[in-house]
Amino acid sequence: MPALMIDLALQGGGSHGAYTWGVLDRLLEDPDLQIEGISGTSAGAMNAAVLASGWAEGGAAGARAALDAFWLEIGHAALLSPFRRGLLDILRGRWTVDSSPGYLAYDIAARLVSPYQVNPGNLNPLRAILDRTIDFARLMRGPIKLFIAATNVRTGQGRIFRNAELTPDVLLASACLPNLFQAVEIDGESYWDGGYSGNPTLTPLVRQCGARDTVIVQINPVERPGTPRDAREIANRINEVSFNATLLKELRMIAVLRGVANPGVCEGAAWAEMRIHRITSPALAELGFSSQLNAEQPFLTLLHAEGRLSADAFITAHRDDLGKRSTLDLDALLEE
């Protein structure tokens, strides 16, 4: 049986990217799936680059080992993080850091001072981890096409970085939350988190990849019950809505084009021919937004396990749909 070519679209979401790690770990176990391209933003960009680097060295097994090593290092680095659960969160069995003294101090300081004042040296522990776990030279000649999104601060437009352009700075730019880190300068331009312009973007997968099955790994909840009441809940929900907006817009465009495009005649046909699939978990909506800053190893392990379960459920239910039909109901997006 020939390998089935698929693309991946990986959302960002801080430490919740460990859920995506679990999804990828399970997908990489399937010998019949071949990854052609990956679009990634923020934590999704990290997962994409680590996977592609490991794949270039040792195929699927190398990719799985590289992801394991990366997230293990993230967990070790979290031992020195100020964003650790407070006693109240631990006693209540929550993974949020809402009662963490470090998080509370950050939450207040972010309204008054900028990263340029509190972190003038622009220290970021992720840089050293990326240097140790990703072979950027291999990415340039690796078989998996990468499309990493960052947002140009000056123009507000997204920029897509491809394999030959990837550096630690590009990945840090894709994950640069402006209240936490200084903007990352690349080629004389400053960049913030790619989630503001594409989380993730599907456009390069359509235009530059031959695969017609795209699997979206979505870690930011689209829906939440009830209406947020306090200031933190409101701010958190605003972030979730804004970080999903561009993806939902592209999915709606695909749904529209399916109804009007003439196959084989225009670029719109390529969009219309895409088969879209989504892997997510309702468990992610139960986690508080601040838990995205919690990188304690037990939490990462929990997310990884949930990701594997979600991917396994997807493969069991939809393996035969790949290459034939979409499993995400795009028409429902047009009814909203």
Distance, in Å, from the CA atom of 70 to the CA atom of 58, rounded to the nearest integer, reads 16
99: Cα within 13 Å, side-chain hemisphere: 11
State pLDDT tens for residues 186-228: 999 999 999 999 889 999 998 899 999 999 999 987 777 778 7
pLDDT of residue 21: 98
The DSSP string of 217-240 is E--S-S--SS---SHHHHHHHHHH
Three-class SS of residue 190?
Answer: strand
Rounded to two decimals, what is the model's pTM? 0.92
Q: How confident is the model at residue 8 (pLDDT cuts 50, 70, 90)?
A: very high
Count CB atoms within 10 A of the CB of residue 260.
10
